[in-house]
Structure 1
Amino acid sequence: MKFVLWRTIATFLLLTFLMAGTAHAERRHALSLHSEPKYGPEFTHFDYVNPNAPKGGLVRFGSIGSYDNFNPFIIKGISADGLGLVYDMLTVKSDDEPFTEYGLIAESMEVAPDNTSVTFHLRPEAKFADGEPVTAGDVEFTFHTLVDKGSPLYKRYYADVKNVVVEDEHTVRFEFISGQNPELPLILGQLPVLPRHFWEGKQFDAVNLDVPLGSGPYELSSFKTGSHVVYTLRDDYWGKDLPVNRGRNNFGTVRYDYYRDDTIAIEALKAGEFDYRQERIAKAWATAYKGPPFDRGHIVMEEIPHSLSGGMQGFVMNTRRDVFRDPRVRYAMNFAFDFEWTNKNLFYDQYARTESYFSNSDLASTGLPSQAELKLLEPFRGKIPEEVFTTEYKAPKTDGSGNVRENLRAALQLLSEAGYTLENGVQTKDGKKLEIELLMRDPAFERIVLPYIRNLERIGVKVTPRMVDDSQYINRLNAYDFDMTTAVLPQSNSPGNEQRYMFSSEAAGTPGARNYMGVQNEAVDALIESIINADSREALITACRAMDRVLLWGHYVVPQWHTGYFRLAYWDLLERPGDNPPYGLDLFSWWIDPEKAEAIRAVRGK
């Protein structure tokens, strides 16, 4: 009797546990990190779109350089702009939430109660442009292809995935190494789904100009390398009426025209050769956008504020090079950059100085470390700079007059401490001169770089600027074949796995990663995992701020600048919803006003 009783109790407990697990692993219409989704299961469209926006018309964008590849998922070649229009992902991120995704190809998602797997249930109606259905097998194929043959970033991005299981034609499960990465289900939601039947028998990792096949709203309809690429809205797009797409993908035809440089592109915009440009150069924004089209209101200029993290833009120093292995040398390079003079005289005071790898966000470190940050940092005391614990990071400052003597004296002292001697105007150590090649790709950057180079030469550091074309620049950057360059290290408002290929020791030795500085730091590696495994917004903020301090006091970059707004110029045939979302610029929620377009065509004759 006792045996029967205990067996009955055990069976009851097991069933209760399984039922509880099933109850918690319920299907969801959305995945959200550290918060509840803003939009419920019955939502009809995002708040920041116009669900009644008209569709049709031609929009033209200006691109710089050229392209030689229609496969944006590999490290080789230069991909054409706009290829993302061809592909749908499992989910879509909303731009009015920090990090929430809603089903696109996936109708619903299930996350295991212990976060050791995520299951995607695909929409049976999802189809590729050739009419073939999108299946779980395509999802599995995509994952393995990107990891095995795609850009190296995919292997690191999906490093915590243990297995992919196809349960049936429309159900696929990703199993994780552990349940400690709460972001991983959302990361997998961003997987673009490739057609297995299209790629079978082809060399995925080779540069090619084969017209791609996807399940997205547009198809590549024509192109001419070095000139343009054109995408056409698909009439038979399977997902056009989904809530995540309503009010979006409004342009009938999207054309990217290529120009040699930004100066030529701005003049082409004024001449009506294309319709929209986002300006990133302060001087151009202040001085170049003038003339009849602006005076008459035919071209609109807008500054739209946002809440996106500015990340870090700076002069990046490659610590793989002997010259930059000593942090004192790297710190000395900071004192030669006069941001205040540059901002006043070259940027028309449009920028703020960047002093964080998470600028313009609540993830940026401020003041001294909190108790929660110290808990993460203390195990590495003695292995990371003491300033991490004692001093708030501030970039060297000047009065903006151009007089940088005090800063240069500080730089000279640092170089002396690093063992350098100033002889005949040149810094030397062990018989070697302190000489640096500064890799560049943008001629417009010369006016910014030259005053910096002059300051460096005043302290005996010889700098040779090396201007190369886009292709050579990308190849050298991917191979870490540079001493110093300008690079952007972007950040989202919910950092996670991507930190591995930006700052981890493993990424430092992997060509094609974004660890341009060559950071190999035990504390940074541990803090990356703390970011990835954060189980709350508070824990994420703490880990990001702690890592921010370690990177800043490592002096891997000379921080430059950032803004908290988009600078847009566009012909007055484009319309946009009234309120731009705080976490993005959803350009494909804009549309063409037919009446305005006709009037503009009459004005510019095209």
Structure 2
Amino acid sequence: MFQINFKVNNTLLLGKTMMNKCFSRIRFCGGVILATMAGLGIAFPVVADGHGIALYGEPALPSDYTNLPQANPDAPTGGTFVDGQVGSFDSLNPHILQGNTPWQLRFLAYESLMGRAYDEPFTLYGLLAERVEVNDEQTQITFTLNPAAEFSDGTPVTQDDVIWSWNILGQAGANGRYRSAFSKVESVEKVGDRGIRFTIGAPDRELLMTLGFRPIMKSAQYADDESAFFRSGLNNIPITTAPYVITDFDPGRFVELSRNEDYWGADLPFRRGTNVIDTIRMEFFGDATAHFEAFKAGELSTMRETNAAKWARDYDFPAVRSGDIVLSEIPHQRPSGMTGFAMNTRRDLFDDWRVRQAMIEVFNFDYINNVINGGTQPRITSYYSNSPLGMEPGPAQGAVADLLEPFADSLLPGTIEGYNLPETDGRASNRKGLRAASRLLEDAGYTVENGVLTGPNGPVTFDILVQTGSSEVQSIADIYIESLKGLGIDARAVAIDSAQFTDRVTNYDFDMVWYQWGLSLSPGNEQLAYWGPDGVTAPVSRNVMGADDPAISEMIDAMLNADSQEGYVAAIRALDRVLTAGRYVVPIWHNPVSWIAHDKALTYPADRLPIYGDWIGFQPDVWWFEN
């Protein structure tokens, strides 16, 4: 992980000034911040100063901080926030593999020992724990519980609750995001009356921090039947420590949370000015059209738009013209991540990089971008594009080249010398792309017989898996399928509901799938779950494409064990090259800003936007209703 922190002196003033300017010059400032940090000679050991912990350097906020910088400490309480989403739900437990749970519950309904500050790439501050300490060898982390911490039923949070939560999330039925680190922890033990100490087998700076960022649950709730924790369903309402509690729901239709008037942590600096809205209601819709119409009708408080053409065209309805609905654009410095059609290399067809490149060549990006977005959206050029962590153009240089050199003989073309996505002229025909794709397929042993592309296993056919409810994704897939016909490929889009989609993706039961990886400014151990070797065959990873390249693991290892900021960034840029040149995904576009339409009374601190922008911890966390 990399950490941009600023000490409380002249460095703090310089850093914050530069950070504010970055919102209008995102691409340029990322590099300036990194260069400035290196020039200042800031050291990057793991630091735990009691109140918080940062991966590199010190937490930006001092021990006597009063509130998070992106929060308004004077925000009034009250109001009902109604959000909508396409899909359904059949579970209220976001920590298990079974069932479909409203994604917001993971963040709104549960707390952890430490809370993440999204104005910093990766810093944690005390939440359920009032203090955190790391030993000199960086193999132990000790959390001291806040004596005031309690569950929504008024019972105290205990050491046993923390240890039980750790153990239950390490079991097979729990979500893989929690289980991935379980084998690395050698022991969890009580220390004194309120301490919990985790010991790991080898120094792992990022792992030590993530141990404090796991949900803590009430062990007594499952004392009679621990297996109930893993059963999907709506009968077991979780007892949590969070500012909100689930107070009402209708299966598949809505979930309602209410602000706990007796919330134990209301006066914590980490919480001051956050979670002030009284009621949060999540409404579910069968498709995107119904979702948008509900917003236009005033049934929802907010609407996130991801389509540039729709943002420019469809948000001119009466409530916008009258000023009752406000259109806000929120900039960010997050990596673009990767979104598009992921190819399953476990299938013989996509095991050949030339076939994967052909699939990229035939995707008529400029034409599709014009049809869907009016041609306004920038393309995703790599997994970490739009951020200072992204690979640089041209041949690999310096430390990046040094990291890749041992794998030079096995790396795919473009990894070291530079890889660029194909460009098209924007016409529907895309003759250039079709010719390039045909040559690649011919080199890979495929021929066209009677207008049908044929290979070692006969005529080439495959399915593109998508979720029901997204007309935009369906439109992209339809245009792409028409282009594939030009190669003699019989492809079809298969739309299934979210539960089936999750099951099939989890078990890698697809040929090509519409998928999205959101990446942060602080990549760490989760990269192994994203692209690591275990996910090639074992289910429940995010390595949906089945990437199986030793260079990936080595770059992740170099990132996790970097002893300087420069080494960390170089390893990520090298990883970015290996993934991008791996040609695993047909990428689409990204949004360097987030578009949010919202009730005029629903307000956010526009003068103190976090570097993550509209991300976890932003809406509704730091929003409020003006009285």
TM-score of the superposed pair, with normalisation by structure 1 = 0.91
Pairing 1:207-356 to 2, within 5 Å after superposition: 207-209=232-234, 210-356=236-382
What displacement does 1:153 show? 3.0
Pairing 1:479-494 to 2, within 5 Å after superposition: 479-494=507-522
Is the counterpart of residue 371 in structure 1 residue 398 in structure 2? Answer: yes
The answer to whether the 8 A contact 2:382-2:580 is kept is yes
Pairing 1:207-606 to 2, within 5 Å after superposition: 207-209=232-234, 210-367=236-393, 368-390=395-417, 392-430=418-456, 432-441=458-467, 442-579=470-607, 580-585=609-614, 586-587=618-619, 588-594=621-627
The answer for the alignment partner of 1:39 in structure 2 is 61
Cα 1:188–1:412 change in 2 (3 A) is: same
Is the counterpart of residue 90 in structure 1 residue 113 in structure 2? Answer: yes
The answer for the alignment partner of 1:154 in structure 2 is 178
What displacement does 1:27 show? 4.8
What displacement does 1:396 show? 0.7
Q: Deviations over 1:60-93 (max 9, x none)?
A: 1112111000110011110024323221111111
Q: Deviations over 1:472-526 (max 9, x none)?
A: 1111111111100111111110100110111011022221211000111111111
The answer for the alignment partner of 2:140 in structure 1 is 117
Query: What stretches of structure 2 of length at least 5 have no aligned partner?
Result: 1-45
Identity %: 37
* Distance in 2 separating the partners of 1:64 and 1:25: 42
What displacement does 1:109 show? 0.6
The answer to whether the 8 A contact 2:48-2:54 is kept is no
The answer for the alignment partner of 2:80 in structure 1 is 58
Cα 1:26–1:578 change in 2 (3 A) is: closer
* Distance in 1 separating the partners of 2:193 and 2:291: 47
* Distance in 2 separating the partners of 1:171 and 1:448: 53
* Distance in 1 separating the partners of 2:181 and 2:314: 40
* Larger Rg, first or second structure (1 or 2): 1
Name which of 174, 199, 203 aligns with 1:175: 199
The answer for the alignment partner of 1:599 in structure 2 is none
What displacement does 1:431 show? 5.1
The answer to whether the 8 A contact 2:181-2:207 is kept is no
The answer to whether the 8 A contact 1:136-1:168 is kept is no
What displacement does 1:383 show? 1.8
Q: Deviations over 1:94-136 (max 9, x none)?
A: 1221111111011111111111111111101100111111112
Between 189-198 and 213-222, report the one with greater CA deviation.
189-198
Query: What stretches of structure 1 of length at least 5 have no aligned partner?
Result: 1-23, 595-606
What displacement does 1:284 show? 2.7
What displacement does 1:26 show? 6.7
Q: Deviations over 1:316-342 (max 9, x none)?
A: 000111111111111100001111112
The residue type paired with residue 565 of structure 2 is R
Is the counterpart of residue 193 in structure 1 residue 216 in structure 2? Answer: yes
* Distance in 1 separating the partners of 2:454 and 2:260: 63
The residue type paired with residue 144 of structure 1 is N
The residue type paired with residue 612 of structure 2 is Y
The answer to whether the 8 A contact 2:47-2:54 is kept is no
* Distance in 1 separating the partners of 2:590 and 2:77: 35
* Distance in 2 separating the partners of 1:331 and 1:227: 42
What displacement does 1:386 show? 4.2
The answer for the alignment partner of 2:89 in structure 1 is 67
The residue type paired with residue 208 of structure 1 is G
Between 250-259 and 372-381, report the one with greater CA deviation.
372-381
Is the counterpart of residue 205 in structure 1 residue 230 in structure 2? Answer: yes
TM-score of the superposed pair, with normalisation by structure 2 = 0.88
What displacement does 1:242 show? 0.3
Cα 1:86–1:430 change in 2 (3 A) is: closer
Between 414-423 and 359-368, report the one with greater CA deviation.
359-368
The residue type paired with residue 177 of structure 2 is L
Name which of 130, 137, 160 aligns with 2:160: 137
What displacement does 1:225 show? 0.7
The answer to whether the 8 A contact 2:331-2:613 is kept is no
Matched residue count:
569
* Distance in 1 separating the partners of 2:532 and 2:240: 33
Cα 1:35–1:564 change in 2 (3 A) is: farther
Between 288-297 and 313-322, report the one with greater CA deviation.
288-297
The answer to whether the 8 A contact 1:312-1:359 is kept is no
The answer to whether the 8 A contact 1:313-1:487 is kept is yes
